[in-house]
Structures are given as structure tokens and as C-alpha cells.
């Protein structure tokens, strides 16, 4: 038996990288997963590979969130977990950033997370149970040069705590995970020199894998974490220690 047996989990950004790893892990542990992404080909492929369903989802759209949640409840009867994994990154600081870039990143990383929590909360409240895992970043734990990205990840951290306080009486747990240098496109897009510089500062002297983040997500989705809510768990090999 798997520790997610009988649970229905929605995972955003499930078409590749960390999201795809989470889909595979959750499936292996017995969950039914609703795989969502804007990358329809990749998302469909992961869903077919794991025997799950795929739903196209732009996380900035309240209407699409409503459609995904309604279809999940209609097909599976309940929603036990949500992983707000979808996110984007672009460089831009005070001097070289723009308001358009700031709004673009905040809309996906922050508002998308808010919309996800808002969409699943009524179903979870009615069943008096649920676990929401919001993927933030170590950029949400310290100052970060890419100001819009950092601001959005600090916001995810704060919204997680606010939601944990609001939804706790309904036995809904809300936690955030803060990955460091994890082997996904977001890391590799920084370029070899920047990746090597970043990893050289990790006490464990290596980057992390999507599965190492994913196993932490699985723990928080499971009943093993039944009294953990409002927590922030850093998965970074000691980088910000």
C-alpha cells in the first residue's frame, strides 16, 4: 500500500521537471493525479505515461481553475491535495527591470497560487480535509537579485501562512517548500558559469534532483504530516544555512 492510496491530487506545471517528478511519485504512492500545465503535449505525455488524466490549465485564469476543480470532483468525488508547482523566472532588478515583467511574474507565481488555493478550498472545506503544498523558493527566504521573482516567492511564503490560519479549523493543511539549486530547466537556463558558482556555495557540494523536492512534497500531502501546517521547508543542501 502507498501512503497516498485513495487520494486525488492536482499538480500544476506537471508537464516537465519538478512537476513531472511529483506526478510520477504521487502515482507510485497510490494517488490519482490530475496533471495540469499550459504545455499540452508534455502534460498529456506525462499523464498517459502514468495512467492519469490531463487538463490544460493557465494558472492565471479563474475560469480554467474552476473547470479543472469541477472536473476533478465530478470524476473522482473529492480533492485531497493540491501542489502549486507552476512558476516562471526571468531576470530583472531595480535598475533593469520593468513593471510589465514584474506584473507577468507576479501573475503566474503569486496570483496563480492564490487562485489555486481559492479554487480547491471549498471542496476541501466541505470534506473537512486536504493538503495544499505551495512551491516557493530559497528566493522567498532571503534577498534576491531578480526582484520580481523574489517578491513573488516571498508572497507565496506569506500566503501559505495566511491560508494555514484560515483553513486550519477545517482540517486543511497548507505548507510551503523552498527549493534551492534543483536540476530543472529553471536552473540550467542560468548558464554553466552561474550554475557552477551557485553549486559551489552549497555545503553538500552538489545540486538537488526534482525527486528530492518531490519526496518532501509527498510527505506533506500524506497523512504522515497530519499535524504540520503553516511550515516552510527548505530543500537546498544547506545553501542558505
pLDDT tens, position by position, 67-84: 999 999 999 999 999 999
Q: What pTM was computed for the model?
A: 0.95
41: number of CA atoms within 13 Å, CB side? Answer: 0
Catalytic residues: 149
47 within some domain: yes
Is residue 3 in a domain? Answer: no
Residue-wise pLDDT for 51-67, tens only, equals: 999 999 999 999 999 99
Q: CA 100, CA 217: separation in Å to the nearest integer?
A: 32
Specify the pLDDT at position 113.
98
* Closest alpha carbon to 146 in 189, 112, 84: 189
In a domain, 25, yes or no: yes
Across 82-86, 159-163, 179-183, 218-222, least confident range: 179-183
DSSP string, 125-183: HHHT-EEEEEE--GGGTS--SSHHHHHHHHHHHHHHHHHHHHHGGGTEEEEEEEE-SBS
Please, what is the average pLDDT of the chain? 95
Our CA angle for 113, 34, 171, nearest 5°, is 60
158 pLDDT higher than 80: yes
Domain that holds residue 154: 8-235
Q: Is residue 241 part of a domain?
A: no
User: Is residue 138 in a domain?
Assistant: yes
Question: Can you tell me whether residue 8 is helix, strand or coil?
Answer: strand
Three-class SS state of 83? strand
Residue 153, φ and ψ in degrees, nearest 5: -80, -30
SS3 at position 35: strand
CA distance 18 to 135: 10
Distance CA 134, CA 172 (A): 13
**In this structure, what CATH number is given to the domain that contains residue 178?**
3.40.50.720
Q: Note whether residue 223 is domain-resident.
A: yes
Instruction: Quote the number of domains for the chain.
Output: 1
Pairwise CA distance, residues 33 & 50, whole Å = 9
Q: What is the pLDDT of residues 26-47, one digit of tens each?
A: 999 999 999 999 999 999 999 9
Tell me if 58 is assigned to some domain: yes
How many angstroms separate the CA atoms of 14 and 116, rounded?
14
Q: Which of 4, 8, 59 is nearest to 29 (CA)?
A: 4
pLDDT at 175: 98
Residue 235 has pLDDT above 90, yes or no: yes
Gap between the Cα atoms of 179 and 173, Å rounded: 19
Amino acid at each position: 500500500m502507498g501512503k497516498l492510496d485513495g487520494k486525488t491530487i492536482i499538480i500544476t506545471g506537471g508537464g516537465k521537471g519538478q512537476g513531472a517528478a511529483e506526478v510520477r511519485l504521487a502515482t507510485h504512492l497510490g494517488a490519482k493525479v490530475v496533471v495540469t500545465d499550459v504545455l499540452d503535449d508534455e502534460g498529456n505525455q506525462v499523464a498517459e505515461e502514468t495512467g492519469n488524466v490531463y487538463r490544460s490549465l493557465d494558472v492565471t485564469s479563474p475560469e480554467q481553475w474552476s473547470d479543472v476543480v469541477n472536473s476533478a470532483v465530478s470524476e473522482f468525488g473529492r480533492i485531497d491535495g493540491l501542489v502549486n508547482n507552476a512558476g516562471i523566472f526571468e531576470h530583472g532588478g531595480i535598475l533593469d527591470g520593468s513593471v510589465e515583467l514584474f506584473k507577468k511574474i507576479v501573475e503566474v507565481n503569486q496570483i496563480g497560487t492564490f487562485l489555486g488555493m481559492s479554487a480547491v478550498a471549498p471542496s476541501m472545506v466541505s470534506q473537512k480535509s486536504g493538503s495544499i503544498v505551495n512551491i516557493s523558493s530559497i528566493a522567498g527566504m532571503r534577498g534576491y537579485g531578480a526582484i520580481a521573482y523574489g517578491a513573488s516567492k516571498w508572497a507565496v511564503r506569506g500566503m501559505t501562512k495566511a491560508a494555514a490560519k484560515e483553513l486550519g479549523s477545517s482540517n486543511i493543511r497548507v505548507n510551503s517548500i523552498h527549493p534551492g539549486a534543483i536540476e530543472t530547466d529553471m536552473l540550467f537556463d542560468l548558464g554553466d558559469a552561474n550554475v557552477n558558482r551557485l553549486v559551489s556555495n552549497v555545503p553538500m557540494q552538489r545540486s538537488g534532483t526534482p525527486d528530492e523536492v518531490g519526496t518532501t512534497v509527498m510527505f506533506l500531502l500524506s497523512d504522515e504530516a497530519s499535524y504540520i501546517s503553516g511550515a516552510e521547508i527548505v530543500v537546498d543542501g544547506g545553501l542558505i544555512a
